C-alpha cells in the first residue's frame, strides 16, 4: 500500500549527503512529494514503523540520557522547535540506507557539515538578535566563539587526508595488499635483441723499406 512512499524515502536518503537523517525530515520530504504526485502518505508514527520493517533501511532510535526511548507524549511542538526544523535541525529517530557504509571519511564529512550548519544558524541568530539586550548578545558571542573553535578543531581532526589515512589503516591486510599491488606499476621488459657480433680487428701491414746508401 505504501510501497511508493518507501521508494521515495529511499530516493531521498540516497541523494542526501548527510547519510544519517532524521525520520521526521524524510517524512516531511515524502509528504511534499505525495501531495505533488498524488500518492497516499501515512502518519509519522506509521511511517516510522514502515521504515523499521523494511530491509532497505537501517533504523536508529532516539534515546534519552538514560538510554531509554523518549516519552512521545511530551513531544515539543513549540514555535522554537518549528524554527529549528526550518533551519534543518530535527530531533527524534534517525534512519540511513543499509547499503551505505559508514567509513571514517563519510563520518568525518558528516560531522564537518553538522558543525558548519550550526555555525551558519548561530550567525543568522546573531544578525537577528534583539537590540539593546546586552545579556543575549553576550550569550550569543560566547556560543559563537566556542562553536568557531570547535569548527577549527573538527576541520583539523577530520581533514580528508587524515580520514583517508585512517580508512587505509582499518582495511583488512588482504585488501591492503591488493590495493598496494594495483598501485605498483609492473616493470617493462626490454625487447630481446640478438647479441652483436664482435668487430674484426684491423691489422696494419707495414712495408719495410730498405734504405740504400749512396756510394
Summarised one tens digit per residue, pLDDT across range 47-102 is 999 999 999 999 988 865 666 666 555 555 667 777 777 777 788 899 999 999 88
Residues 119, 157 share a domain? yes
For 10-33, how does the pLDDT look when each residue is reduced to its tens digit (9 = 90+)?
999 999 888 999 999 999 999 999
Please say whether the beta carbons of 112 and 157 come within 8 A: no
Is the CB of residue 46 less than 8 Å from the CB of residue 66? no
Residue 76 domain-assigned? yes
Q: What are phi and psi of 175, to 5 degrees?
A: -70, -35
Query: 82 is written with which cell numbers?
Result: 518549528
Choosing from 39, 66, 98, the residue where a domain stops is: 98
Residues 139 and 53 in one domain: no
Claim to verify: residue 93 and residue 2 sit in the same structural domain: yes
121 shares a domain with 166: yes
Residue 3 domain boundaries:
1-98
Last residue of a domain, one of 98, 113, 131: 98
Are residues 17 and 80 located together in one domain of the fold? yes
Residue 72: DSSP 8-state: G
Strand partners of residue 60: 94
Residue 190 lies in a domain: no
Report if pTM > 0.85: no
Beginning with the edge strand found earlier in the chain, give each strand of the sheet holding 94-97 in spatial order: 21-22, 94-97, 57-60
Amino acid at each position: 500500500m505504501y510501497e511508493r512512499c518507501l521508494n521515495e524515502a529511499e530516493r531521498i536518503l540516497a541523494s542526501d549527503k548527510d547519510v544519517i537523517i532524521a525520520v521526521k525530515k524524510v517524512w516531511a520530504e515524502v509528504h511534499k512529494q505525495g501531495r505533488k504526485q498524488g500518492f497516499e502518505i501515512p502518519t509519522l508514527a506509521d511511517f516510522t514503523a514502515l521504515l523499521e520493517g523494511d530491509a532497505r533501511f537501517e533504523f536508529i532510535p532516539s534515546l534519552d540520557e538514560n538510554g531509554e526511548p523518549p516519552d512521545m507524549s511530551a513531544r515539543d511542538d513549540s514555535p522554537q522547535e518549528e524554527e529549528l526544523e526550518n533551519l534543518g535541525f530535527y530531533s527524534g529517530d534517525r534512519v540511513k540506507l543499509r547499503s551505505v557504509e559508514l567509513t571514517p571519511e563519510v563520518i568525518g564529512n558528516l560531522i564537518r557539515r553538522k558543525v558548519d550548519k550550526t555555525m551558519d544558524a548561530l550567525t543568522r541568530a546573531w544578525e537577528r538578535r534583539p537590540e539593546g539586550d546586552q545579556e543575549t548578545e553576550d550569550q550569543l558571542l560566547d556560543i559563537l566563539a566556542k562553536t568557531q573553535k570547535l569548527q577549527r578543531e573538527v576541520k583539523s581532526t577530520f581533514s580528508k587526508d587524515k580520514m583517508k589515512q585512517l580508512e587505509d589503516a582499518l582495511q583488512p591486510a588482504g585488501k591492503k595488499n591488493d590495493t598496494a599491488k594495483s598501485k605498483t606499476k609492473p616493470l617493462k621488459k626490454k625487447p630481446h635483441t640478438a647479441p652483436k657480433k664482435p668487430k674484426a680487428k684491423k691489422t696494419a701491414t707495414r712495408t719495410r723499406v730498405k734504405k740504400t746508401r749512396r756510394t
